[in-house]
Structure 1
C-alpha cells in the first residue's frame, strides 16, 4: 500500500492505493483516469476492483498552482475542533517534543501557526527516529479524543515520513482526471 494525492481541475483528494504495482502511474504531472474506487471519510481507496489508466493525449487537464498549494498546505490545529472526531489528517509538521512510554510514543508536533498537538504512535510508529526540529510528514492519522484532549492517532494505514532538520524535502504532487 502507498499514499498519494490526486487532483481534478477544481479539487484534490488523498488516496490510499492498495496495489503497489500502480505506483508508477501516480507520478507528478501524470494524468490518470481512476474508476471503481471507494471513498471513505474523504479519502479515495484504490483496491483490486479499481482501474487506473493513463489518460490519452486528448484527455489532458490543467490543475492550477493555487490548488496544488492548497493540497500541500497542512491543516491548522486550531481548526480541528470544527472537523469532528474520526477525520483523517495528512500534513507536514515540525516535531516539537518526543516522549517514549512503555507501549506508545507521544510526538508533540507543531503546525505553521505554532499550535501543538500530540500524535500517539504505537506498533511500527513506536519510538521512530526523530528529534526536535525534524519534519514529520503524516499520512492517514485519525483525530480522536484521549483524556479529554484532541490527539492524532496512528492506524493500520498510517505512515510517517521523517525529514531531518536542515535537509530539504520536496513534496510530490500528483494529478488525476476523474
Structure 2
C-alpha cells in the first residue's frame, strides 16, 4: 500500500515508472547500496523525529551521515528524539526500511541535510523495503516538498568520509 502511495505521488511528474523494485531487500543503507550498486553514502535515508506537538519532522541525509545532536538542537530548538517504528508508520504511512519523504500519510515538514549535496544523484526509498528511485538533489528537494536544506549531520565531512563514500576530488 505504501509503495502505491509513492507511485501516485510521482505520477504527477510522470516519474512513477522510474521507481525501481528489487528482488533483494533495500531496507538498510548497506542493503540498498549493494542492491543498487552504489556507495552507501549515495543512499538518501529518511530519519523521523518527534517534532513540536504531535507532528513529526523528517530529515533526509546521506547514507554515511549521522545526526549531530548539538547541530539539531541549535537548528530546531528541541532535542533529536527518533520515533518508534509504530510512530513512524502512523506519521509517514511507511514502515521502517521503506521510509521516504514521498506519498506521506500526514503533511510533515521535510528537511534535506547538506551531506547529500556532494552527489549528482541519490537513491531514496519509495515506501517499501525493496524499492528506490534515482533523483538529483534538486529533484529530491522538489518532489519531497522540502522546507529547506539544513546542516544537522556529522561523520560525512573530510577525506576519510569521502573515501568511505567512494567519492574523490568532489571539493
| TM-score normalized by the length of structure 2 | 0.26
Q: Which has the higher contact order (CA 8 A, sep 6+)?
A: 2
Q: Which has the larger radius of gyration?
A: 1
| TM-score normalized by the length of structure 1 | 0.26
Query: Would you tell me which structure has more strand in proportion to its own residues?
Result: 1
Query: Would you tell me which structure has more helix in proportion to its own residues?
Result: 2
